[in-house]
A and B are shown apart, each in its own frame.
Chain A
């Protein structure tokens, strides 16, 4: 009945990795990477989040259903972000609809 018990070393290693990545993201902010600054920061955040989800929240050792719930939340979040952004990103690219000119 009990779930997977991770060894303490796993938790300490993940913590260490998270600290390192935090340091990297702070340092990277002081370097001028132009348009890449934002994607880099986002990518590091995603890596950190993945580590927390997989190891601290045990998703790596969880049932398929749990993994499906996680994936579903991300999928619909993506729909919200992407489809809304699709509107703003394409403004002005085509003539406005008739009666709105």
Chain B
């Protein structure tokens, strides 16, 4: 490194802005470098999100194995129709998002805006359905905490078996107190879908900003990175749901 020679004045002479793309940030040398940095940055961020949700997925996996019957019962109380509908909606929003990115890549401003708006709409539909589902849970006292009730019509609670099942270290306690153990399912249900919904709300917000920028004509085939990055984030949120849906809604539907 002692042989390093200071060279290569990239801008050449007077620092004229006409020489480079208006969107080039000054610590980068080329648009290519900037795009590569943004892309890598977004993917590293998504990597953190994988690990973030991963911890929850392990907790889910453990308790599903330990308390399968309670999990199956609780899962059956979720509306499979709404869940499947929401899955279709979210996958559809990924489609519209991908098409939005494509439109930006090909400098089609109007199409970009249209597809982005559709993505937002579908995202809002998803969130709306979640509101309906959550409201239903509130009504049925399925929100964990002080007011949680696992109603008798689902299954009689085995009160006395609860004590034996309280040693968490034994593998797969059979049966057990449904009042207690279905509550664990719902704790995970609300934490997982709640965090997912939070990510969706942020996503819708981001989409709003991107849509506005697209409307203003900020993107074309030479610069569409923000649309692409927002798209990656959106697809990731879809990915999480692709796993949440079967894990939460489809534990055991064949009885």
Contact = CB atoms under 8 A, between A and B. Distances in A.
In the complex, are there CB atoms of A and B closer than 8 Å?
yes
Contact of B62 (A57, A66, A88): A88
B222 interface: yes
B32 interface: yes
A35 to B, nearest CB: 11
Interface residues of A, number: 49
Interface stretch (B4-12, B154-162, B190-198, B247-255): B247-255
Contact of B51 (A25, A57, A62, A77): A77
A1 B98 contact: no
Contacts, number: 133
Interface SS majority for chain A: helix
B99 A80 contact: no
A32 B253 CA distance: 8
A31 B242 contact: no
Contacts of B221: 2
Interface of B: 31-32, 35-36, 39-40, 43-44, 46-47, 50-51, 54-55, 57-58, 61-62, 65, 80, 84, 87-88, 91-92, 94-95, 97-99, 102, 105-106, 169-171, 221-222, 224, 228, 231-232, 235-236, 238-239, 242-243, 245-247, 250, 252-255
Interface of A: 1-3, 5-6, 8, 11-12, 14-15, 18-19, 22, 25-26, 29-32, 37, 41-42, 44-45, 48-49, 52-53, 55-57, 62-63, 65-66, 69-70, 72-74, 76-77, 80-81, 84-85, 88, 91-92
